[in-house]
Amino acid sequence: MQRLTGKVAMVTGAAAGLGLAIVRRLVDEGATVIATDIDVAKGQAAVADLARTRFLPLDVRDETQWQAVTATIVADGLTLDALVNNAGITTMGSIEALSYAQFRHELDIDLCGVFLGCRAGITAMKGRGGSIVNMSSASGLKADADLAAYNAAKAGVTLLTKSVALHCAREKYGIRCNSVHPGAIHTEMIDKVMAQVADPEALYRSFVDRHPIGELGRPEDVAAIVAYLVSDEARFATGAEFVIDGGLTL
């Protein structure tokens, strides 16, 4: 008997990086997984060979698409036990360098997408309980002059998570809601961030230097914490910040 056998989990931003590693780990532990992403071709290809995994298109900014995905899950005879709000982007830039449009775009995906996800997750799970896992970041706890929009979005996720946790506890929904705070993890997101600066090699070295442990993390490091939070072993954890950052925030 595996830890997540019989559980149904949905993951956003599942076509690559942390989201795909999380899908693989949840499947490995026995869960049935609904993998979603805005990039349909990439998402379908990424999970094609995984057991008990179905791909559905979802732009986390679109409330109508959230309703369509949760309706499809119900129509398939599945009942959601966990939702992992993982989809996100990173826009580099200081308060002076960023345009208002860039700032809003970042918040639209990384914060408003999590708001819509929490609402959809609560609607789907409030009858019988479950787990919502929100992907924040070390950048949701610690500021950087060149991450004004990302800091604002991820710090928003940190406190939104606690508010959702308190609401679900007060309403006795049996739904736990926690945030995960990775340091730099080598995924395509890091490559995309490096593509936004003049000296990518120097930026990469600075990423490594900021982690006392002396290296970047791996997607599997984060997936292990998410699997724990989805499992019943985490029954007493809610509204908490799960930091996995090689010492970055120390």
Ligand X SMILES: NC(=O)c1ccc[n+]([C@@H]2O[C@H](COP(=O)([O-])OP(=O)(O)OC[C@H]3O[C@@H](n4cnc5c(N)ncnc54)[C@H](O)[C@@H]3O)[C@@H](O)[C@H]2O)c1
Residue 188 binds to ligand X (criterion: CB under 6 A): yes
Give CA–CA dist 25/226, Å, rounded.
9
Task: Count CB neighbours of 171 within 10 A.
Answer: 11
Name residue, tokens 């914490």: 225
Taking the complex as a whole, the smallest distance from the CB of residue 1 to ligand X amounts, in Å, to 30
Taking the complex as a whole, the smallest distance from the CB of residue 172 to ligand X amounts, in Å, to 30
Active-site residue 100, yes or no? Answer: no
Catalytic residue among 100, 150, 204, 228: 150
Q: DSSP state, 51?
A: T
Between the alpha carbon of residue 39 and those of residues 44, 52, 57, 111, 188, the distances in Å are: 9, 20, 7, 19, 14
Taking the complex as a whole, the smallest distance from the CB of residue 150 to ligand X amounts, in Å, to 7
Q: Which of 3, 28, 39, 174 binds ligand X (CB under 6 A)?
A: 39
Q: Which of 11, 18, 98, 125 binds ligand X (CB under 6 A)?
A: 18
Closest to ligand X by CB, 42 or 162:
42
Name which of residues 90 to 129 contact ligand X (CB under 6 A).
90, 109
For the chain, what's the residue count?
Answer: 250
Q: Decide if 213 contacts 152 (C-beta within 8 A).
A: no
Q: Which parts of this chain interact with ligand X (CB under 6 A)?
A: 12-13, 15-19, 37-39, 58-61, 86-90, 109, 135, 137, 182, 184-185, 187-190, 192
